[in-house]
């Protein structure tokens, strides 16, 4: 069966096309999907600026200029695999625990169709239920976590499940491979030195933004490859890993982040990894300007979808 790709921009102008990611078909319009792009418009777990519940719609709107051939990865990601937009998971905005259960159930149903998930949030709370589903499929996964923040804190105001705690809970639940997981892009002040020592116990190594001047993106790629090896890899990408110059539309910005070019180059290298799923979170359009953040997130999603594509053929 021929895969259905984006709407032809030479026939329907991009600004008039469907509101799906990259103007791709909806999941209910195809027989099956190899990759399902699904939104989770949820931000009840944020600790600072709200608004990421509007992230999925913003990233979709910012993805209209994506095209069919990826020249750097040398693949046509929408032709060699069926990618479809699965819409949004509707979750309770007033009850975090119920929302987590709803996300987990919906994600389980989607992967049950055989699709890999690219999830667009929403705040980083959503990574916990997604990792529960990944662990059911693959066992503990190597998490490559792009973020300004560790997100391995214990609680906020006594709440154990927030956007700053998902990877502590995931580690405690045995969802991650403690020998193969890492953070990339960490920077900014911490609460105490114990934040870093606790993080190591939970199973993470760190590539901080202060390391990037010496490492460069190629050095970062080598460290990631050495760390994850052949393990199943789940990428969790908080858009605030980018410097606010490249991603102002987010809830907890920190100065001194990655450039868009550095991030995209690192993501392109993941075609060589055993990539089983990914999320992109914390896009908050109320703080964005001219779709700067949305475009960065859409292109990151495109590189991840391309990295999931089978190699060796062009349609």
pLDDT for position 1:
66
pTM given for the model: 0.97
Report d(CA 150, CA 164) in Å as an integer. 8
State the distance between the two ends of the chain, measured CA to CA, in whole angstroms. 12
Q: What are phi and psi of 173, to 5 degrees?
A: -85, 0
Q: Closest by alpha carbon to 97, among 139, 58, 54, 44?
A: 44
Residue 314 has pLDDT above 50, yes or no: no
Residue ranges in the chain assigned as alpha helix (H): 55-62, 96-111, 127-138, 166-172, 194-201, 212-228, 260-268, 292-308
- Residue 88: count other Cβ atoms within 10 Å of its Cβ: 18
Question: Is-contact 61 301, C-beta < 8 A?
Answer: no
**Long-range Cβ pairs for the range 12-18 (8 Å, 24+):** 14/64, 14/65, 15/64, 17/64
Q: What is the pLDDT of residue 2?
A: 84
Domain 14-308: CATH class, spelled out: alpha beta
Q: How confident is the model over 88-147, as pLDDT tens digits? A: 999 999 999 999 999 999 999 999 999 999 999 999 999 999 999 999 999 999 999 999
Of the pLDDT bands very low, low, confident and very high (cuts 50, 70, 90), residue 312 is: low
**CA–CA separation, 264 vs 287, rounded Å?**
22
Q: What is the dihedral of CA 274, 113, 238, 160, to 10 degrees?
A: -110
SS3 123: coil
Strand order in the sheet with 116-121: 83-88, 35-40, 116-121, 274-281, 232-238, 142-146, 181-186, 204-208
Residue 313 scores a pLDDT above 80: no
Which has the closest alpha carbon to 178: 133, 219, 139?
A: 139
Structure confidence at residue 17 (pLDDT): 86
Cβ neighbors of 238 (< 8 A, separation 6 or more) are 124, 145, 146, 147, 148, 149, 151, 250, 281, 282
Digit-coded pLDDT (tens) for 259-308: 999 999 999 999 999 999 999 999 999 999 999 999 999 999 999 999 99
Q: Supply the pLDDT for residue 315.
A: 41
Q: Which of 1-15, 48-62, 181-195, 250-264 has the lowest mean pLDDT?
A: 1-15
Q: pLDDT tens digit string along 210-222?
A: 999 999 999 999 9
The C-alpha atoms of residue 214 and residue 179 are separated, in whole angstroms, by 24
Residue ranges per domain, the chain?
14-308
Residue-wise pLDDT for 21-64, tens only, equals 999 999 999 999 999 999 999 999 999 999 999 999 999 999 99
């Amino acid at each position: 069966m021929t895969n259905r790709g984006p709407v032809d921009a030479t026939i329907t102008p991009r600004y008039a096309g469907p509101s799906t990611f990259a103007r791709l078909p909806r999941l209910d319009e195809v027989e099956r999907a190899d990759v399902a792009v699904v939104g989770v418009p949820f931000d009840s777990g944020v600790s600072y600026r709200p608004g990421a519940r509007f992230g999925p719609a913003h990233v979709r709107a910012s993805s209209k200029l994506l095209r069919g051939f990826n020249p750097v990865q040398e693949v046509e990601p929408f032709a060699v695999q069926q990618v479809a937009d699965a819409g949004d998971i509707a979750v309770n905005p007033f009850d975090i625990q119920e929302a987590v259960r709803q996300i987990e159930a919906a994600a389980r149903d989607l992967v049950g169709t055989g699709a890999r998930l690219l999830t667009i949030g929403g705040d980083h709370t959503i990574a916990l239920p997604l990792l529960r589903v990944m662990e059911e499929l693959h066992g503990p996964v190597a998490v490559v976590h792009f973020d300004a923040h560790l997100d391995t804190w214990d609680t906020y105001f006594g709440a154990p499940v927030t956007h700053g705690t998902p990877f502590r809970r995931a580690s405690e639940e045995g969802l991650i491979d403690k020998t193969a997981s890492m953070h990339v892009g960490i920077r900014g002040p911490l609460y105490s030195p114990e934040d870093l020592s606790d993080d190591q116990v939970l199973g993470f190594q760190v590539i901080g933004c202060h390391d990037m001047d010496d490492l460069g993106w190629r050095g970062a790629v080598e460290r990631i490859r050495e760390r994850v090896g052949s393990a199943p890899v789940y990428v969790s990408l908080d858009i605030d890993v980018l410097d606010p110059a490249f991603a102002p539309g987010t809830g907890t910005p920190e100065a001194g982040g990655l450039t868009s070019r550095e991030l995209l180059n690192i993501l392109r290298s993941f075609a060589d990894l055993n990539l089983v799923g990914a999320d992109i979170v914390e896009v908050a359009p109320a703080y964005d300007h001219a779709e700067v953040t949305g475009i960065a997130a859409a292109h990151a999603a495109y590189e991840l979808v391309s990295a999931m594509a089978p190699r060796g053929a062009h349609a």
